[in-house]
Amino acid sequence: MVTIRLTRRGGRNQPFYHVVVTDSRKRQGGPSLEHVGFFNPVAGANEQKLRLDLPRIDYWVGQGAQPSERVAHLVADYRKQATA
């Protein structure tokens, strides 16, 4: 099964997550099919906290990919921001 999930990057106490499309059987930091965005939970005032490629996410969901619970929440929030 293909999933859309977060994979952690960054150093200790500096979390940074890539939003990736990957095979659910692969390990978290392993190879991914596509990189579709990022999430920076500790972004400063001048930094972007979240960026997603919504057309590609919609494509993968249309192909049967399942977003993780956290990614689904981030996508919903991002869509609200985009329309506001």
CA 72 to each of CA 6, 28, 44, 68: distance values in angstroms, whole numbers, following the listed order: 11, 17, 24, 6
Decide which of 3.20.20.70, 3.40.50.970, 3.40.50.150, 3.30.1320.10 is the CATH code for 2-83: 3.30.1320.10
* Nearest C-alpha neighbor of 18 from the set 66, 50, 63: 50
Reading the chain (84 residues) residue by residue, the pLDDT tens digits are: 999 999 998 889 899 999 999 988 887 777 889 999 999 999 888 989 999 999 999 999 999 999 999 999 999 999 998 787
Q: What is residue 58's predicted lDDT score, i.e. its pLDDT? A: 95
Chain CA centroid to CA 59, Å: 14
Q: What is residue 84's predicted lDDT score, i.e. its pLDDT? A: 72
Please give the sequence-ordered ranges of beta strands (E in DSSP) within 42-81, or none if there are none. 50-52, 66-67
* Nearest C-alpha neighbor of 3 from the set 70, 66, 72: 66
Query: Torsion angle, CA of 60/3/50/29, rounded to 10 degrees?
Result: -130
* pTM over 0.85, yes/no: yes
